[in-house]
Structure 1
Amino acid sequence: IQSINNVSDVYDEYYSSIRKDIEDFKDESLLEVAGIFAFFQVVDNSNDEMMEKIQTAFNIEREIFWEAVRKLYKFELVDIYENEIARISDQVLATYLFYLTFFKEKLLKFSVLLDNFFPQFQYNFVDALNPVLSAFDSKEIIKILTPDVDRVWENYEVARDEKSLIQLMKLFGFFKQTEILIYAKYFIGKMAVESVDISTLDIPSNSNIHIPQDSILDLLSLFGNSDEQNSQKIAIDLLFEYLTKKPQELPQVFCLLTKTFGFQRDSYITKFITQSIVIDKLLEKVNEGKNELFAKLFFGVAEKYLDLQFDTSQMKKKEFTLYQFSPPTTPELFELRKKIWRGIFQLYQIDIFQKKVINLIHTYSNSFSKFTVSEIIKQDALEVLEFIEFLKDKFNPKDYYHCLIVQKYLDFLESHQIEFNNEIRERFVNETYEVSRILSDNLNEIKNCYLDGKEYEQFKQNQIKEYFANYNFKDYHDFFDKCHEIKAVTKEKNHYSSEFPSGRIAEVLFLTCENSDLYLDVLKDYLKRGDPFQINNFPFPLIEKLIKISGVEKAFELLNQFDFYSKRKWLFGFYNLLPEEKVTSDYLEKLYSLYQQSELDEIRQRFDFLLKYRHLDKNVVAQVTEIILSKINQQKNYPDPFDFLFNRYTQVNELLIELFTGKLDVLKRAYLSSPNIRVHSSNSKDIFIRILDADQNFIIEYIDWVYSQKQFSNSYYFQDNLDYTFLWQYENYQELITPVVEHIYQKEKELSSSISRNTILERIFFLQITEEEKFILEDRQNKLLKSLMENRYTDIDLMQLLLSVTTTFPYERRYQFINLFCKHNPNFEDFKKLPLEPYVKNYKELSSEDYILSSSKNIEATHKIVEYLKSLLPIFNRVELLDHKQYVEQKIKDFQKWIEDEKKEDFLRD
């Protein structure tokens, strides 16, 4: 290896036979053409614009160029498709040929490429130059490039073509770093300072931050991977100067620092120096908290840099690859993280940043990594635990929020088997935290106790009973105050509201207030507060206990004693739990009134309880349904109020048709307004069939509703998910479906001057059954279609509709319908209006052949279409059908051309 002075010698040796073959031809243009191909990768002879540019730029005739291409093909240096498109056969070979032509032998001038093909082909420059610079003498190559780059640079400056200039800088930034920094300094220096209220600025939690291409920020991003530390430092200084003048672009600068300048898979090789420079520069700008803008930026960057797992992406050969990694545990990484933690904790001394510091610890405590990161967490703990220990005056065990954060952090350490002084856990406990601990689920607790879901639930109930065993009224009163504190922290400290355990509060009252008088007093105290913890979602046990203790009348009186936001939900709970023997017409009237007064989100979704009121009003379920329906058009964003009406496991569902006797229209309206019933297709079909059996006109009403939804619904994504297969299973299917076909036909004519494709009728003909059953039902479909065609073959609009349905059939099944039509109607103008080839539709509605085509434009699928069209040709072997034959033959040619074009595209893409 030592005998090889330059890597180019290796290439020369490896490709010596190819060089000899080229030189033996004694054709100077051959190597030049090879070099041109090495740059473009692919050249298309049918692309006149591209060929003219090549001819003009390199002063080579088109025929001579392609004659050289054919010679290169013989040497297997290029691949050729249909004698029209050629591409370089090997990327490593391309690198060598490009270097040989433009740099070593200098047969062609690089200036020709730069003057004629930049910036239009800027990605070709990147693909050609990067591997050459990596493989060969980069200093010599840069020496050759410099004069031409300087000249074009100056031309762009004179023309004030900022976009092209930045594109040039991005391409040749590897040897023009100083010039780029000077340009950025000049550009930023001219910017005006924007006046912004810094307190209103924030970094968005999502990662969808856009940095405009070819902007000054995009240009400075070049330095994220720079080997020159001094240049990196200056670039970061310029970024900060930019942010100072444009504070509203805080998210964009944050994005650059965390992605371009952030952790990469190979950052450990340079000992994380780039990330260390970023943190040093940020802390310098933060100026011990005096600069609020940069403090915000520091907190954002610090949180990202302290992640335990990172994502990075790479584009290679037109493929986007996402990588996940955890940085190797090196002394430099530990030093960097120590620096970040100390910078964070230093800012805790300033009141306005204390919340940020605490929240950052909380965020860190929820960190996840699929990699082994215990050593990193252990080293971080040295800083975090020291902060907790030595800031006793500001990190206060009397503060519930401080206790919560410390305990969550210790849980995090414990989950990673990191040891710590348990005295810290014991110290950071106060009464409010104890209540929070009892009420909340703890994953470590579940794991350490080896409990399943039911066992853990019993464990928590026993915990609650033991903790609240001797509570008196004042204790419960104080308990509610503590719950207020817990809820306030949950809501205001940027934590998820779902962390507040409302359900456990209901459990406390139900399980521990065993004394009847105490229970009533505590419940009154709670309701007087206005159900502040919204246990209205869990009130049934409380109401049941209330009725048991005080009786129906007094329970009803107590619930109506106070006015509070969720009162109606509690009252629905009362009517739900009212014993059947206590039901009266007065309660029923009050229940109707409650339904009428309530908003949809206040109404209990259950319907079964209404059955106990049925002896007073046999239409009670229909009446309630009608009240709910009257509210649907007036309110938005509500849960499906009929979810349990149509739930197959409810009593009302079993009695559905009986409950709506004489009120079937109400049931239909409820069905059509229930989003959940339409999503769960099997249950939807069952309900539909039961309504249809009661009234066969329902299918027509349903189709009208589908059309109205498609036409007027605000939802662009409306989908009719009903499986219509059951229609074909009726013995009187022709009597049932023929009016449906006619109705759809008339609707289509009303909506448009021409019959559309992808209609509801196509869904009706789509079968979702076994192959054995399909044979019978397809035969029924064929009979119905043929009957309609034989009786209405002159109605060309109807024929279009019917034959559009057949395009969803397998090819062998379609033939009979084209044949039947031509047998009865030889009119060529009518024939041209018929759909012959498939249409891109919902994937569920496609035959297997068409699905391949619609999803990926698969060439094989298009071949099948061609074969199908060819199979139709014998139909037209009659004098009166010659025009038909020519028409289909032209379609065959069109598809064959598409296949060839697609093959060409595939060749270009590979």
Structure 2
Amino acid sequence: MSRIQNIETNLTSINDAAFQELCDRLIYFKYKNPSAFARIGSVTGKQKTKKGTPDSFLLMSDGEYIFTEITTNISDKDKLLKDIIACFDYKKTNISSDKVKEINLFFNFNIDNAYIEKLKSVATSFNPKTEIIFWSLDLLTSVLSTNHHDLVSDYLGLSYDTGQIVSIEKFISEYNRSSHGIATPLDNEFVQRRQEMDELKRKIAEKDFIIVTGAAGVGKTKLVLESIREFIQENKTYKSYCISYKYDSILNDIYQYVSDGDDYILFADDANRIDHFNQLIAYYQSKQFGKLKILITARDYAYSDLYLNCPAELTEVIKLKKLSDNQLIDIVKGEPFGITNPNYQDVITRISDGNPRLAVMLSRLAVEKQDISVLSDVSNLFETYFNTFIKDQKELANPINIKSLGVISFFNAINIRDKERLLEILKNFDIPYEDFLEAVQKLNSFEVVGINYDYVKISEQNLSTFFFYLAFIKNKQLSFGTLLTHYYADYMSRFSDCIIPANNTFGSEKVMDVVLPDLKKHFDTIYDDSERSYKFLSIFWFYLRSETLEYLYNEINTYSEHESINTKRMILEKKSTLSGKDQTLELLGKFYVGCPELKDAIELSFEYIEKCPFLTHKLISQFKELINFEAKDQHNNFRRQTILLKTLIDKIEKGSCSCLQVFHGIAKLFLKFKFQYVNGYKDRTIHFHTYTIPLSKKIKDIRKMIWDTLDLYFLENQDECFQVLKDYSAVGGEISKEILEYDLLFIFNIIDNHLKNEFFEHCLYVQKLIRWLQRHNIQSSKFERYRNDFINPMYDLFTKVNMYGYGHKEDYEFDDYGEFLRLKELEIRSAYIFKDQADMDSFHSMFTDIVNVHKPETIHLESLDFILEENFKRDYNIGFKFLELLAKRNDKLLFIPTRSLKQILVIEENVCLVWELIEKISFRSKPLWKISFFTEIDSALIKNEHIDMILEIFREIENLKFMSLDWAERYLNFDYELYDKILTIVTERNREPNVKIGLQIHYFEKTFKMLSKNMPLIQEAYLQQVKIDSHFDYNKNGLFRIIEMNPGFLKDYFDYFYFSDDIEFTERKADWGFIWEIEGMGPVFSEIFKRITEKNVFSGFSSHFLNNFFSNLKEDKKAKANEFLFELLKANYKDIRIVNLIVNIARYARKEIYENILLLYISLNQDPDVFGKIWWRGNGGEYNGGDISGEIEANDWKKILSIIERSEHGTNLIPIKKVIKDRIYSCLRFAESEKTNLFLDR
């Protein structure tokens, strides 16, 4: 008889009192930390029942009740109905029915669904919110066998193996024996954890409780044992023991082995499995003399419960990660393997997935066979890895175990409490329910599976893949067809998660032989449904490659390239524009990995874009992403790239314009020297790789095809082909010199055949190419000829005005940069001395053409100012005519003369002529020329009449940012109100629609003393400038001066920006602490707080903007800011919105006063409802992937509770304490669901 059957038998024969006591213990385990627990139906001090309704109850922290009714009376089935009715009878319970949250019915027999629905209906008639839990014989058996072995022993007389305190050596022996070869033996070599071991030893010395947590298989147990060994060698007073737990009380064993007065280390492996873990805590607390260190390991999804039970200040958590790929590679390339080939390393790290023993076994296999292909099927290696276990015919070889593991592996995790769903699954695979539960218990004891939160799951991902393969593929103990028929629609992603790893690890042919017939059969049933077919083929295309290509061929042929109106194509174009993806290209792209049908897939891709040319760019992007050069391509002699190029060129030769467009995109990619690619995802981490191509024969062939095609079609597509050339020599960083030298012959050929020195861009390209090649130490006899041939007047002009080079050298090639600038200026000044208007026209025309190619860079315009200045020096009339030309044709160049004006505006006559010139011509930069005029004019020639002319400039300007007014200071002697007048005009103009005149960033900081005290003008102008440019007065020195004069302006500032509906307030991280240096800010700031609460709803998330006013304060200002917050709280403690702002500031910027703020508040207001609406710990938080947010938030509330406990207001705070305890309870309940999800997702 199985253990499950034994439990069922003993439950049916248990006496009433023992059954009631068993059920009371179960319900107490389920609901931790109730406010009250009463066993009404039990006689105190005796194992005897008495009448009472309910038999027991728990009062929860939210004021609601959990009732329990217990019966063994199988003869009176209406007993359950009577119990439910009695629970809602106030005369019997003295509890209102609306407070009954849940009724747990315990009975040692089973009832049918119809009766369950009847009982639920009766309960609903009293209180629709009351939940009824039916603890039937089946459920009790499952729960007891899974989670409560001690209760099975105590109440049913069925003993489990007992545990004891053992030495490290005996623990290792028992561990290796009990693992049946599944876990990595603990007596193997210890590798790659030196850093973690040193950290753990430090923590043993510092703390008394150390929890080492991490996923299964990362080496937690081995790390702890090795660390204990070294620690004891270094600390001779300590003795060590391990707990080899066997589901019995451990307290007596501890007292027997651990003597008071000595120093001990106790190690509890997988402590979350120890039902009596609290006995360890109790013993630690009772130990009077000597030191006791308790080391614990726990799975990553289960450690938090243990942490909550340990003394927080004495506990340290160490999170152990899987061995990284780099650590595994260190093992693989070290002795005795010496595997340095990155291709081998990638495969080994992928399959081993952080498991060092698998990495070692794979390395041995690779070294033995000297062939990477052997790693494509490692099923035998996996069987060797689990060899001891597999050979145990009574255990894993039992078909029920393999079938159970196969089912679990597919579903990832199975809820064993959901009996109805579980029975449906097991029925489909012909697995008896009881046999499955017993298999799960057995596999759990071997740690092949883990059971948590009512779910069973295989402990390691690669182990799960193996058992899926074993059950569904190799042994065929489970039907893949059944899996496909019943679960494809709802579990599509699980097919990918199971099939693809099995395919990659154990060989595609083995998988295909089994799944192909079922896949074909299923595909036939959905062929006419386009959406379902695409989804199905996107998963199983690899096994249905011919079917996939045929399906896509038929789909593509429904589009017509000749029809002027094709409804389907129009729909596709719109859909493609909206989604950014095309399902046909996506599916074709799966073939680009390199399967035998690659050429067919590429040809279909080209046919598709011929009919839907709007998808050409998407196809180019897909080729760049999927047929990029990778290390694996070298092993296959670059087959993918060769097929793509040959197919593409063949299409071009047949006249395909779309394929020619694709070619130009591919050519730019394939002519690179290095390639970056992503080698998939692992542990949610993206791994980037760089691959440098070799100059192999195949690479030469590929590059030759590209260069020859460019040469052949250059005249037909000059712009695109020329761009490929330019992109090639624009490569930065390292290049391959031997590849470059190989390519150079083809490049020279294209230059000789197609580039002409009459074109400026061709000259510029060739000259730049020569310099680029020489930078890479490449020389050629052709350089001198090219350098002399590819020159024309425009290029000659470019070399003169280009401020980045002199002669054949770039600026960075000069040792003395100052000398370079001197030579460059001399060259520019001497090169362009104009004789007449024709010279000027010719120069300006070429200069404009250069700017059209290179854009009007300031560095070129600086050259223009040199030329203008030099011509003024040589011949004023020529210079003046050139200035007039630049003004008349200014719109393209946007040139503004500076130094040239400075040279000539030194005599009255020139001043008049230049001003008249600027005034008579209409051009876009005219106001800026005027500003330059008044900036450069000699001070001796400044007149009073210039003031009005200056003011007129600001009446003309439409839009200008960052305008400096430093030059205007010279004019203050003629009008000391000039800054005010300019500011007035600018402010008036900025009121106009579409006008934005922005002043220099530090304008108010620099000019405040020179401005009058017209505060309304200054304030309006300041607000305008910040609106135009959010960086204006970034350090707030100008604002400080304004507020210093008028503290109330801070309110206006906030009204204008912070509360605006249409202006983004962009200064959320600005430093506003300067306000505490200004007297009289308290009332103003209080008003701002009130305005913020009136106009903005604060959600409690993150740091509020107001924290900027309280951060980074000097010591003398901290006290002032703190006092303000205390006084604000006293005045507004009834206003929840203001209190929330104060608390937020105390949580972020003024953390040191948080406790005082909390204590002050509860001294002023003990209303629990108001207290509960304040964000004392914020709202939500930022958490890492493995964090349990519910527990973090519960701990936050516990800290808040500990602060309140120190208050002197005693019983008045009981309602507030209840609010906090309810929050703690709620957070911990939420944490349970988080831990369940973490267990399922890991």
Answer yes or no: same fold by TM over 0.5: yes
1:886 to 1210, 1218, 1222: 1218
**Aligned with residue 931 of structure 2, among 560, 568, 572:** 572
Cα distance between partner residues in 2 of 1:87 and 1:456? 72
2:529 is matched with 161
CA contact (8 A) 1:530 1:563 kept: no
From the superposition, tell whether residues 640 and 856 of structure 1 become closer, same or farther in structure 2 (CA, over 3 Å). Answer: farther
Which of 384, 390, 411 aligns to 1:19? It is: 390
Distance 1:122 1:371, change over 3 A: farther
Alpha-carbon displacement from aligned partner over 1:45-102 (angstroms, at most 9, x marks no partner): 578998577445435577764553342232232344x454444333433333222211
Partner Cα distance (1:261, 1:781) in 2 = 62
**Cα distance in 1 for residues equivalent to 2:1164 and 2:1057:** 34
Classify 1:137/1:621 alpha carbon distance in 2 versus 1 (closer, same or farther; 3 Å).
closer
Question: What is the CA distance between 1:330 and its match in structure 2?
Answer: 1.5
The one of 677, 681, 706 equivalent to 1:316 is 681
Q: Match for 2:1126: what amino acid?
A: K
The whole-number CA distance in structure 1 between the counterparts of 2:592 and 2:1002 is 57
Q: Provide the identity percentage.
A: 20
Q: Which has the higher strand share?
A: 2
Alignment of 1:182-201 (within 5 A): 182-193=550-561
- For residues 717-740 of structure 1, give each alpha carbon's deviation from its aligned partner in whole angstroms, at most 9, with x where no partner exists: 73344322223344x4xx422332
Gapped regions of structure 1 (runs ≥ 5): 198-207, 647-652, 841-849
Match of 2:1111 in 1: 767
Q: Deviations over 1:198-235 (max 9, x none)?
A: xxxxxxxxxx999766711111112101331xx22221
- CA separation in 1, counterparts of 2:1002 and 2:477? 81
Report the secondary structure of 2:634's partner residue.
helix
Between the aligned partners of 1:301 and 1:826, the Cα distance in structure 2 is 72
Residue 582, structure 1, aligned to residue 582, structure 2: no
Structure 1 residue aligned with 2:1193: 862
Among candidates 22, 25, 34, match of residue 405 of structure 2 = 34
Aligned residue in 1 for 2:986: 628
Q: Which moved more, 1:437-446 or 1:30-39?
A: 437-446
Q: Deviations over 1:329-356 (max 9, x none)?
A: 2221121111111111211233xx2222
The answer as to 2:744 corresponding to 1:385 is no
- Structure 1 pair 682–667 and aligned structure 2 pair: CA distance change class (3 A): closer
8 Å contact 1:657–1:664 — kept in the other structure? no
Q: Work out whether 1:660 is the aligned partner of 2:1000.
A: no
1:502-513, aligned counterparts within 5 Å? Answer: 502-511=861-870, 513=872
Does the Cα contact within 8 Å between 1:237 and 1:281 map onto a contact in 2?
yes
- Mean alpha-carbon deviation: is it higher for 426-435 or for 249-258? 249-258
Amino acid at match of 1:663: N
For residues 812 and 1145 of structure 2, the distance between their equivalents in structure 1, rounded to whole angstroms, comes to 61
Aligned amino acid, residue 354 of structure 1 = Q
Q: Give SS of 2:1003's match.
A: coil
**Distance of 1:255 and 1:357 partners within structure 2:** 18
In structure 2, distance between residues paired with 1:757 and 1:12 = 52
User: For the Cα contact (< 8 Å) 2:1107–2:1149, is it kept in 1?
Assistant: no
Q: Give the SS at the match of 1:585.
A: coil
**Aligned-pair distance for 1:396?**
1.9
Q: After superposition, what is the alpha-carbon deviation per residue over 1:416-461, rounded to whole angstroms, capped at 9, x for unaligned? A: 2222212122111112111111222447823673345544322321
CA distance in 2, matches of 1:278, 1:680: 52
Contact kept? 1:679, 1:721, Cα under 8 Å: no
> Which whole-Å CA distance do the structure 2 matches of 1:134 and 1:498 have between them?
55
> 2:1059·2:1095 contact (CA, 8 Å) conserved in 1?
no
1:300 is aligned, of 649, 661, 665, to: 665
Change (3 A) 1:245 1:684: same
**SS of corresponding position for 2:809:** helix
Structure 1 equivalent of residue 1154 of structure 2: 814
Give distance in 2, aligned partners of 1:532 and 1:314. Answer: 51
1:127 aligns with 2:458: no
Letter in 2 for 1:126: S
Structure 2 distance, partners of 1:684, 1:286, is: 61
C-alpha distance in 2 between matches for 1:876 and 1:832: 20
CA distance in 2, matches of 1:810, 1:47: 50
Which shows bigger deviation, 817-826 or 629-638? 629-638
**Counterpart residue type for residue 688 of structure 1:** L
1:674-689 → structure 2 map (5 Å cutoff): 674-675=1025-1026, 683-689=1034-1040
Q: Out of 599, 608, 613, which is 2:958 matched to?
A: 599
**Equivalent position of 1:695 in the other structure:** 1046
SS of structure 2 residue aligned to 1:723: coil
Question: 2:665 aligns to what SS in structure 1?
Answer: helix
1:720-731 map, 5 Å: 720-730=1068-1078
Q: Encode CA deviations 1:667-717: one digit per residue, 9 max, x unaligned.
A: 2233333349986698533222211211122222222223333x331x3x7
Q: Tell me the distance in 1 between the aligned counterparts of 2:563 and 2:906.
A: 66
Q: Give RMSD over aligned pairs.
A: 3.7
- Mapped pair 1:415 → 2:775: yes
For the 8 Å contact 1:614–1:620, the answer to whether it is kept is: yes
Of 669, 677, 680 in structure 1, the residue corresponding to residue 1020 of structure 2 is 669
* CA separation of 1:827 and 1:542: change in aligned 2, threshold 3 A: same
CA contact (8 A) 2:538 2:587 kept: yes
CA contact (8 A) 1:126 1:171 kept: yes
Aligned residues: 854
Alpha-carbon contact 1:111-1:148 (below 8 Å) kept: yes
Paired position in structure 2 for 1:742: 1087
Q: What displacement does 1:542 show?
A: 1.7
- CA distance in 2 between partners of 1:410 and 1:195 (Å): 50
CA distance in structure 2 between the partners assigned to 1:694 and 1:323 by the alignment: 61
Give deviations 1:545-591, integer Å, cap 9, x for gaps: 23137532222223334333322221111012233333333221122
Q: In structure 2, the residue corresponding to 1:325 is in which secondary structure?
A: strand
Q: Structure 2, unaligned stretches of length 5 or more?
A: 1-364, 566-575
Mark the CA change 1:759 to 1:213 in structure 2 (over 3 Å): closer, same or farther.
closer
Which residue number corresponds to residue 94 of structure 1? 464
The alignment partner of 1:174 has SS state of coil
- Deviation at 1:170? 2.8
- The change in CA–CA distance for 1:796 and 1:412 in structure 2 (over 3 A counts) is closer
Matched, 1:226 2:594: yes
CA distance in 2: counterparts of 1:66 and 1:435, whole angstroms: 88
Q: Map of 1:491-506 to 2, 5 A cutoff? A: 498=857, 501-506=860-865
**Superposition TM-score, scaled by structure 1 size:** 0.85
1:729–1:833: structure 2 CA closer, same or farther, 3 Å change rule?
Answer: same
Q: Provide the C-alpha distance between the structure 2 equivalents of 1:452 and 1:211, rounded to a whole number of angstroms.
A: 55
> d(CA) in 2 for partners of 1:759 and 1:26?
59
Letter in 2 for 1:426: N
Aligned twin of 2:549 = 181
Is contact 2:803–2:859 with CA below 8 Å preserved after alignment? no
State the match for 1:838 in structure 2: 1178
SS in 2 for 1:95: helix
Secondary structure of the structure 1 residue equivalent to 2:1012: coil
CA distances 1:216-272 after superposition (whole Å, capped 9, x unpaired) = 1111112101331xx222212211211111111111222223222343332222222
| 2:429 alignment counterpart | 58
Query: Where does residue 886 of structure 2 map in the other structure?
Result: 527
Question: What displacement does 1:376 show?
Answer: 2.0
Q: 1:612 to 1:362 in 2, by over 3 A?
A: same
Give the letter for the 2:1198 counterpart.
E
- For 1:72, the equivalent position in structure 2 comes to 443
Distance apart, 1:148 and its partner CA: 0.7
Matched, 1:263 2:629: yes
Letter in 2 for 1:702: Y
Change (3 A) 1:326 1:466: farther
Structure number with greater Rg is 2
